[in-house]
Amino acid sequence: MGVTLKELAASLNLSPTTVSRALNGYPEVNAKTRKRVRDAAERANYHPNTRARSLATGRTHAIGHVIALSDSHEIVNPVFADFIAGAGEAYSRAGYEMVLSMVPDSDEAQAYRDMIARGAVDGMIVHGPKLNDPRIALLTQLGVPFVVHGRSSGVDAPYSWLDINNNRSFRRATEFLLQLGHRRIALVNGLENMDFAMRRRNGYLQALHEAGLTPDPALMRQAEMTEVFGHSAATELMRLPDPPTAFLSSSMLVAYGLRRALVDQGCRMGRDVSVITHDDDLSYLPNGRDVPLFTATRSSVRDAGRKAAEMVLSLISAPGQGPLTCLMETTLIVGESTGPAPGSRPRDTARQ
């Protein structure tokens, strides 16, 4: 492969020790020698062997991400890719590598154990936390620095996390639709054993509750967040005797399927029906018709990935600090023409 330290040292008539020190910025090395070494290293395209270095130092300069494959929506979800892109960016800036492990979700816990036991990573990011997620206790017990993307309700012990304020996001979106006069608002959610989905539902319920409305279970759906689900959910919901006039969607893919179903049924977006979705950015639409609110845009997800990566790196370099947390607020963007047009469809109440 590449040149080794020993070879480089020999070519310079220096000891490996000195060369190592020169390259790693140790102060005791002569400025002249250092320059000589640096130049030679550059010319020879010398890069220290990661494996050897980490064997010697005990640090791998790698962060692990485990993806459970049966959560097929997880990896397929474009939002996931954005998060990974952001994290990867932060890693490479810091000279870290990202190790991705895709496993059948039955092997998930073992995948975490393995990565650690084999000394493959210095830290980990936990994706898609569920309620009471056992991975948090596992990693804590193993003593690995880690950051959860999301939180896990039911886990009491402290841990580091970065999350979007899902509750607030959906509460606000619901309030907004209520203000527009909507009374039948459908919630097309992710699986509610996922922590984020539960928080979103709670936000939705809270808003309804505060408006003195009783939630209709028929309007609440949950499943893996795919276009297929969005499509079938919308189709079925519109067949109800008293169909919803607005939809809250948990994912851009769901929203795509959902809008498609609505359109095929002749609904006009933003007139006959309103759709608000999380994790999407339709700001290019001329007047934000059915997207009065972006609860999180693509680029904010990338920011989240970057931020989460920086958090693990920080935990690694300064092990003393307590758990780090970061709650990201979402952005409200209201287009010009938002609710359904008056009278375009029977409605419980007049709009403001």
Partner DNA sequence: TTGAAAGCGCTACCAT
Partner DNA sequence: ATGGTAGCGCTTTCAA
Three-class DSSP labels, 133-157: CHHHHHHHHHCCCEEEECCCCCCCC
With CB under 5 to 8 Å by kind, the binding choice for 325 among DNA, a copy of itself, none is none
Residues 58-117 that bind DNA (CB under 7 A): 58
Smallest CA-to-CA distance from 52 within 44, 61, 43 is with 61
Under rule CB under 8 A, residue 49 binds a copy of itself:
yes
Can residue 317 be called a binding residue for DNA (CB under 7 A)? no
DSSP code of 294?
B
The nearer residue to a copy of itself, 77 or 174, going by C-beta atoms, is 77
By CB under 7 A, tell whether 10 contacts DNA.
Answer: no
Residues 198-227 as x/- pattern, contact with DNA by CB under 7 A: ------------------------------
Task: For residues 244 and 298, give the distance between their C-alpha atoms in angstroms, rounded to a whole number.
Answer: 27
**Residue 119 structure tokens:** 């000394």
Interface pick for DNA out of 10, 11, 25, 28 (rule CB under 7 A): 28
**Cα→Cα distances 280→77, 173, 177, 256, 258, Å:** 11, 14, 18, 10, 14
Q: Which does 70 bind (CB under 5 to 8 A by kind): a copy of itself, DNA, none?
A: none
CA distance 304 to 330: 12
- Interface with DNA, residue 334, by CB under 7 A: no
The verdict on 55 binding DNA (CB under 7 A) reads yes
Site string for a copy of itself, 211-230 (x = CB under 8 A): ----------------xx--
With binding defined as CB under 7 A, does residue 352 bind DNA?
no
The answer to whether 130 touches 195, Cβ cutoff 8 Å, is: yes
Among residues 20 and 274, whose Cβ is nearest to DNA?
Answer: 20
